[in-house]
């Protein structure tokens, strides 16, 4: 009788871990940890660069996509802002690395060749309330053609034209017809959106997911087992930490870029 009681005590003790979790709870926790680990180990990593004049909302667009909210206190980017987000398309885990550089030439000269290296997709951004930012798109496309043709001339790189700040429709200077004509001329789709307007957040999501889907279907499998590091400067947005999570990061000094 005493032996049976001791066995029961041992069984009861073994069913609860030292932290108070039952065996079932422990198993569930282990499964969740494994699933989380899988999510953070994508098969492919894609580098997306965001190009355009200063103050067109490049940083706010990438922040809206990665952080899921509007960046209220956005300062001019000095150097490079870098964010990444892990997503799932069908049954594949993909990581998007989003590079956003300063629109001012004096902040770009020292890093421009590195910025364009190993690019997989490009967003050209203008402000619908600023006609000069739209006119300057020709400059940004010329720069892109010059550097990308040197580094990867044989690759077809998906490109999208984005008109930002559509919430300021009363101040709009660039019409949809003007933008569509330009987009057709350069053979890329046009998206008009607002990083600030919550009702248009799905538009921002659609922009990056469109690129991700194109990349998924056109690029061969690539296992990111090599990392290249380069020091750059970046603005530290004080309110960015509260939205960072396992699939969205902000790097201020160290940029991680997979090598081909």
Q: Tell me phi and psi for residue 250, to 5 degrees.
A: -125, 120
Closest CA to 223 of 48, 66, 92: 92
What is the distance between the alpha carbons of residues 168 and 199, in angstroms, rounded to a whole number?
14
The pLDDT of residue 148: 79
Going from N- to C-terminal start, the domains of the chain cover 2-37, 43-258
Sequential DSSP letters for 9-60: HHHHHHTB-TTS-BHHHHHHHHHHHHHHHHHTS-SEEEEEEEE--TTSSHHH
Q: What is the pLDDT of residue 5?
A: 57
d(CA 92, CA 219): 13
- On whether the CB atoms of residues 110 and 99 are closer than 8 A, the answer is no
pTM exceeds 0.75, yes or no: no
Span 208-228, pLDDT tens digits: 999 999 998 876 544 444 434
**What CATH homologous superfamily does 43-258 map to?**
P-loop containing nucleotide triphosphate hydrolases (3.40.50.300)
pLDDT the model gives residue 203: 86
pLDDT digits (tens, 9 = 90+) for 44-95: 899 999 999 989 999 899 989 988 877 766 555 555 678 889 999 888 899 9
At which residue do the structure tokens 């984005």 appear? 162
Which residues, 6 or more positions from 106, have their beta carbon under 8 angstroms from its beta carbon? Answer: none
Name the residue with tokens 């300063």: 102
Closest CA to 242 of 1, 67, 36: 67
Give whole-number Cα distances, 15 to 3, 5, 158, 188, in Å: 19, 16, 54, 60
pLDDT in tens, the chain (260 residues): 555 555 555 455 445 455 555 555 555 555 454 444 444 577 789 999 999 998 999 989 998 998 887 776 655 555 567 888 999 988 889 999 999 876 555 555 666 777 888 889 999 999 999 999 999 999 999 999 988 766 565 467 899 999 999 999 899 999 999 999 999 999 999 999 999 988 877 789 999 999 999 998 876 544 444 434 333 334 444 344 343 333 333 333 333 333 33
Positive or negative, the CA dihedral 192, 196, 197, 199 is: positive
Q: What is the structure's pLDDT at 90?
A: 86
């Amino acid at each position: 009788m005493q032996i049976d009681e001791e066995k029961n005590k041992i069984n009861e003790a073994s069913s609860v871990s030292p932290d108070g979790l039952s065996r079932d709870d422990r198993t569930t926790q282990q499964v969740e940890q494994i699933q989380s680990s899988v999510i953070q180990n994508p098969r492919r990593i894609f580098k997306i660069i965001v190009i355009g004049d200063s103050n067109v909302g490049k940083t706010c667009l990438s922040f809206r996509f990665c952080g899921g909210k509007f960046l209220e206190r956005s300062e001019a980017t000095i150097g490079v802002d870098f964010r990444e987000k892990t997503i799932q398309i069908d049954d594949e885990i993909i990581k998007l690395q989003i590079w956003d550089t300063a629109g001012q030439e004096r902040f770009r000269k020292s890093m421009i060749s590195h910025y364009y290296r190993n690019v997989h997709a490009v967003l050209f951004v203008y402000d619908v309330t600023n006609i000069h930012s739209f006119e300057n798109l020709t400059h940004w496309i010329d720069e892109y053609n010059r550097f990308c043709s040197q580094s990867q001339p044989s690759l077809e790189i998906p490109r999208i034209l984005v008109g930002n700040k559509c919430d300021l429709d009363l101040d709009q200077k660039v019409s949809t017809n003007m933008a569509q004509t330009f987009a057709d001329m350069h053979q890329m789709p046009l998206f008009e959106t607002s990083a600030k307007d919550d009702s248009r957040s799905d538009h921002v999501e659609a922009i990056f997911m469109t690129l991700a889907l194109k990349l998924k279907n056109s690029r061969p499998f690539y296992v990111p087992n090599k990392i290249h590091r380069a020091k750059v400067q970046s603005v530290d947005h004080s309110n960015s930490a509260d939205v960072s999570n396992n699939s969205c990061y902000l790097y201020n000094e160290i940029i991680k870029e997979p090598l081909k």
